[in-house]
Structure 1
Amino acid sequence: MLSTDNIQITPELLTLVAEIDEFKGAWRALGTLAPERLKALRHVATIESIGSSTRIEGSKLTDREVERLLANLEIKKFDTRDEQEVAGYAEVMKLVFNAWQDIPITENHIKQLHRDLLRYSEKDEGHRGEYKALSNSVAAFDEDGGQTGIVFETATPFDTPRLMTELVAWLNEARDLRRLHPLLVVAVFVVVFLEIHPFQDGNGRLSRVLTTLLLLQAGYAYVPYSSLESVIENSKEGYYLALRQTQGSIRTPAPNWQPWLLFFLRALQQQERRLALKVEREKLVMAALPELAVQIIDFARQHGRVTMGDIIKTTGASRNTLKEHFRRVLEQGHLVKHGTGKGTWYALP
């Protein structure tokens, strides 16, 4: 069985878990947007998740192309491998979002999710929903889809059924006993799943589907509204490095969990921070602030401060027009003015 006794709860891990859990608790208050706005946030996040997760594995479809494809999913016929993978990922994500409470984590359900994930993938027809019959290893790809090298070796086909049985048993026992924080349980499950790499293809995409499923089941209800996959895509080198550092030690007496736990929790931190910004932006729009005023506040949030020159460069708007918008956000208490003359700058209260 897996050995997690040596997981070190460092100050950084504690801080990350505390911030993520604080956001989880605050989501009820943050999530008071109108239903149509929440629906719009989820739609955008879903497109980002599907696009990013498939691009991590070599797809070349942009988010805009993904959105066009999703608008025509009912055609059920997709010409390219990229389109087939996007269609399958979209359907599995929809299933997880709508039925996460009714999907127990068993080997059979994991196989079913894999089968659905590769439903439209013609090249995977012979092995979808079944553990691998041939050895596989994880390769890294560049922006053009070319393979840049082997990231790590995976479990043998012979060992895979036993290792998956052990992993699923460990997960369910860990969730029942509650000795490990739920976020650490999810992180360990994902990294070991990827170390086993139980299916011939689709393991990376399925790991991210399972991450979303497990987070929803652990009570992180905000997950559908912010794309974790997009965060990972933007940190792809760090993702592969953390995987490699931890996975090389998993089958030793003292696994080194720290690299992966730090990467995973930092990614979750970025996910919730992105969503917090989006929700605050939506509230500003709901408060009938003009778009330029919202952009001024956004800049201050992202950079800690904002000047007139910053917004002129960012938006191309005239100084006279922007003066009126700065005046408005100051009067309404969204920003506070510092300095005078050319040294004037603005920050959040």
Structure 2
Amino acid sequence: MKEFDYENLNNLIITPEMAKKIGQIGELRGQLKNIQQQNPTMLDRLIEVAKIQSTDSSNRIEGIYTSNTRLRQLVEKKTMPHNRSEEEISGYRDVLDLIHQQYAYIPISDSTILTMHKRLFEFTASTWGGHFKDIDNQIITTFADGTSEVRFNPAPAFITPTLIDNLCNNYQKAVDKEEIPLLLLSGAFVFDFVSIHPFRDGNGRMSRLLMLLTLYQIGYGIGCYISIESLIEKTKTNYYDTLKDSSVGWNENTNSYTPFLNYFLSVILQAYRELAQRVKPDETCKVPVKALILDALRSELKPLAKRELVGLIPNYSQITIERELNALIKEQEVEKVGGGRSTKYILNNKK
């Protein structure tokens, strides 16, 4: 049976690159320790935006989505779901809220995982919510051109409950000992959970919720302000590639955690860097919102959706950003591309 070697993570060697990332994350975490005192209003907006982006991105990775308007209404609990996608989005929203509010009191255990999964599907007619898989499954990667491949064959259904129980116990023991950097333990736990693939559906979303929960509990609450799920969506190809690379030899306990952990650390580091960039104290508030919109479009070097602009400019409300964005379009400084939920904005270089 698969074993979870959380004493040394299959003889993991922390590379200089990984050590550097851990150090940089720690440094930024220290600098932002008293972030709550800097600008409460801006932080409240960051929290609001992060919840919307996390709910959106984690579901979009799995091909589940709705319109931007409906998404916001669902996250703010101002409407009820109208279809299966919105039912699953609503479930994710509720589990996400639970983690944000109660993470300190949620144990890492098989019963916790089953409860979270049940809530994830609470709005749907599915009968498997809160139950481990009863049939064997495969981890399949689907590519942009519609083709797919089997990335990994997880352990059979009949030993899944035992594997999850062993995973949770070994992870918690390792966290208590703190002999391995806690960030690496969090990343390894998420990877092993995905590799077990314990449910018929919802494994990817559950892994990202568990990522947020374990990070919170080891003192890295960055997911409150910056959507880690959104960063993963933007680097989805690398996400799947590193999962695949670290899966080789998993059933035989010979897999290397290094590819996935290196990716995991990059995502967390990027999250802290984004937060440091967005929480520039008072001087940012003195810059006109039009200038901030134009600067965001220049620096990102790609078309941006409205929700992305709102996330990049937390010191102004969404209403203000929308008003000034429309003004920039009328002034032909900015133009729209696409339509509907795919609408994005770019600089008008023809002017």
Using the size of structure 2 for normalisation, the TM-score is 0.79
Q: How far does residue 44 in structure 1 lie from its aligned partner after superposition?
A: 0.6
Counterpart check, 1:284 vs 2:286 = no
**8 A contact 1:24–1:221 mirrored in 2:** no
1:272 aligned partner: 272
**3-state SS, counterpart of residue 131 of structure 1:** coil
Structure 1 residues 16 and 317: alpha-carbon distance in aligned structure 2, compared to 1, 3 A threshold? farther
Q: How far does residue 36 in structure 1 lie from its aligned partner after superposition?
A: 2.3
Counterpart check, 1:114 vs 2:117 = yes
2:323 aligned partner: none
**3-state SS, counterpart of residue 275 of structure 2:** helix
CA distance in 1, matches of 2:96, 2:124: 16
Summarize deviations over 1:142-181 as a string: whole Å, max 9, x none. 569x563333221210121121111011111111111111
Counterpart check, 1:130 vs 2:128 = no
CA distance in 1, matches of 2:158, 2:91: 28
Counterpart check, 1:25 vs 2:30 = yes
**3-state SS, counterpart of residue 242 of structure 1:** helix
**8 A contact 2:222–2:271 mirrored in 1:** no
1:93 aligned partner: 96
CA distance in 1, matches of 2:195, 2:253: 16
Q: How far does residue 248 in structure 1 lie from its aligned partner after superposition?
A: 2.4
Summarize deviations over 1:272-316 as a string: whole Å, max 9, x none. 122222212x64343x2223454576689779xxxxxxxxxxx79
1:226 aligned partner: 226
Structure 1 residues 230 and 283: alpha-carbon distance in aligned structure 2, compared to 1, 3 A threshold? farther
1:193 aligned partner: 193
Q: How far does residue 55 in structure 1 lie from its aligned partner after superposition?
A: 0.7
Structure 1 residues 137 and 284: alpha-carbon distance in aligned structure 2, compared to 1, 3 A threshold? farther
CA distance in 2, matches of 1:130, 1:290: 52
Counterpart check, 1:42 vs 2:47 = yes
The structure with the largest alpha-carbon Rg is 1
Which residue identity lines up with residue 115 of structure 1 in the other structure?
Answer: K
Summarize deviations over 1:80-117 as a string: whole Å, max 9, x none. 22101110000111110000011011111111011111
CA distance in 1, matches of 2:69, 2:226: 17
1:70 aligned partner: 75
**8 A contact 2:94–2:119 mirrored in 1:** yes
CA distance in 2, matches of 1:91, 1:21: 30
CA distance in 1, matches of 2:65, 2:150: 20
Structure 1 residues 198 and 117: alpha-carbon distance in aligned structure 2, compared to 1, 3 A threshold? same
Stretches of structure 1 lacking an aligned partner (at least 5 in a row): 304-314, 319-349
Number of residue pairs aligned between Structure 1 and Structure 2: 301
**8 A contact 2:51–2:75 mirrored in 1:** no
Counterpart check, 1:13 vs 2:15 = no
CA distance in 2, matches of 1:63, 1:147: 28
CA distance in 2, matches of 1:300, 1:253: 47
Counterpart check, 1:240 vs 2:240 = yes
Which residue identity lines up with residue 19 of structure 1 in the other structure?
Answer: Q
Structure 1 residues 143 and 301: alpha-carbon distance in aligned structure 2, compared to 1, 3 A threshold? closer
Structure 1 residues 277 and 221: alpha-carbon distance in aligned structure 2, compared to 1, 3 A threshold? same
**8 A contact 1:285–1:291 mirrored in 2:** no
Counterpart check, 1:152 vs 2:152 = yes
Out of 84, 87, 104, the position equivalent to 2:87 is 84
CA distance in 2, matches of 1:278, 1:117: 31
**8 A contact 2:58–2:229 mirrored in 1:** yes
1:2 aligned partner: 4
**3-state SS, counterpart of residue 60 of structure 2:** helix
**3-state SS, counterpart of residue 222 of structure 1:** helix
Which residue identity lines up with residue 252 of structure 2 in the other structure?
Answer: T
Stretches of structure 2 lacking an aligned partner (at least 5 in a row): 302-327, 332-351
CA distance in 2, matches of 1:302, 1:235: 15
Which residue identity lines up with residue 164 of structure 2 in the other structure?
Answer: M
CA distance in 2, matches of 1:254, 1:119: 37
**8 A contact 1:192–1:247 mirrored in 2:** no
Summarize deviations over 1:301-339 as a string: whole Å, max 9, x none. 779xxxxxxxxxxx7999xxxxxxxxxxxxxxxxxxxxx
CA distance in 2, matches of 1:220, 1:54: 23
The CA RMSD over aligned residues, in Å, is 2.5
1:211 aligned partner: 211
CA distance in 2, matches of 1:63, 1:299: 20
**8 A contact 1:51–1:62 mirrored in 2:** no
